[in-house]
Structure 1
Amino acid sequence: IGTRLLVFAGRAAREKNLPLLRAAARALGPGYHLLLIGPGMPQGRDGNVTGIDGFMPTDRLAGHLAACDALIHAGTQETFGLVVLEAMASGLPVIGMHAGAVPELVVPGTGVLATVATTEALVDATRALFSLDSAAMGRRARRHVEDRYAWARTLATLVSNYRRVLGVASPGPWVWHAGP
Structure 2
Amino acid sequence: MHARTTLTRPVNLVDFPAPDRGPGAFHVVDATMFWSPRGGGVKSYLRAKNGFLQREESIRHTVVVPGAIAAASPQVPGLPLPFSSGYRFPLARNASARVLRALKPDVIEVGDPYQMAWSALDAGQASGVPVCAFFHSNILEMAQRLAGKHARQAAAIYVRKLYPHFDRVFAPSAHLVSQLHDLGVSRAVLQPLGVDTTVFHPQPADGSWRARHNIPPDAVVLLYVGRFAPEKNLPLLADAVERLGAPYLLVAIGDGPVTPRGSRVRVLPYEAGREALARAYADADAFVHAGDQETFGLAVLEALACGLPVVGAKRAGVGDLVVDAVGITVPPGSAEAFARAIVSLRQRNPDALAKAARAHALSYDWRNVFPPLIQHYRQLAHGPERIFDIAPDRFDAAGAQPVHRHS
TM range (shorter): 0.7 to 0.9
1:84-163 paired onto structure 2 within 5 Å: 84-146=300-362, 148-163=363-378
Work out whether residues 238 and 262 of structure 2, in 8 Å CA contact, stay in contact via their aligned partners in 1.
Answer: no
Shift in Å, 1:176: 2.6
Q: Does 1:62 align with 2:270?
A: no
Shift in Å, 1:134: 3.0
Whole-Å Cα distance in 2 between the matches of residues 129 and 166 of structure 1? 47
Work out whether residues 96 and 113 of structure 1, in 8 Å CA contact, stay in contact via their aligned partners in 2.
Answer: yes
Work out whether residues 5 and 70 of structure 1, in 8 Å CA contact, stay in contact via their aligned partners in 2.
Answer: yes
Matched residues, number: 176
Work out whether residues 92 and 139 of structure 1, in 8 Å CA contact, stay in contact via their aligned partners in 2.
Answer: no
* Deviation by residue 1:96-145 (Cα, 9 ceiling, x = unmatched): 01012112111120110112321111111111111211331122111111
Letter in 1 for 2:371: A
1:20: which partner in 2? 236
2:293: which partner in 1? 77
Task: Give the counterpart of 2:383 among 154, 165, 168.
Answer: 168
Whole-Å Cα distance in 2 between the matches of residues 23 and 67 of structure 1? 23
Work out whether residues 17 and 75 of structure 1, in 8 Å CA contact, stay in contact via their aligned partners in 2.
Answer: yes
2:73: which partner in 1? none
For structure 1, the residue ranges without an aligned partner over 5 or more in a row are none
Letter in 1 for 2:237: L
**SS at 2:312's partner residue?**
strand
Whole-Å Cα distance in 2 between the matches of residues 65 and 100 of structure 1? 23
* Deviation by residue 1:2-59 (Cα, 9 ceiling, x = unmatched): 532110000110011010011011111102111100123759x952211102343111
Work out whether residues 39 and 55 of structure 1, in 8 Å CA contact, stay in contact via their aligned partners in 2.
Answer: no
Shift in Å, 1:167: 6.9
Letter in 1 for 2:232: K
* Deviation by residue 1:46-96 (Cα, 9 ceiling, x = unmatched): 522111023431111111111111100010110111000011111101100
RCO higher in structure (CA 8 A, sep ≥6): 1
Inter-CA distance 36–162: structure 2 relative to 1 (3 Å threshold): same
Higher alpha-carbon Rg: 2
Q: Does 1:49 align with 2:259?
A: no
Q: Percent identity?
A: 36
| C-alpha RMSD of matched pairs (Å) | 2.3
Shift in Å, 1:169: 3.0
Whole-Å Cα distance in 2 between the matches of residues 107 and 159 of structure 1? 28
For structure 2, the residue ranges without an aligned partner over 5 or more in a row are 1-216, 394-407
Letter in 2 for 1:168: G
Inter-CA distance 165–138: structure 2 relative to 1 (3 Å threshold): farther
Work out whether residues 368 and 392 of structure 2, in 8 Å CA contact, stay in contact via their aligned partners in 1.
Answer: no
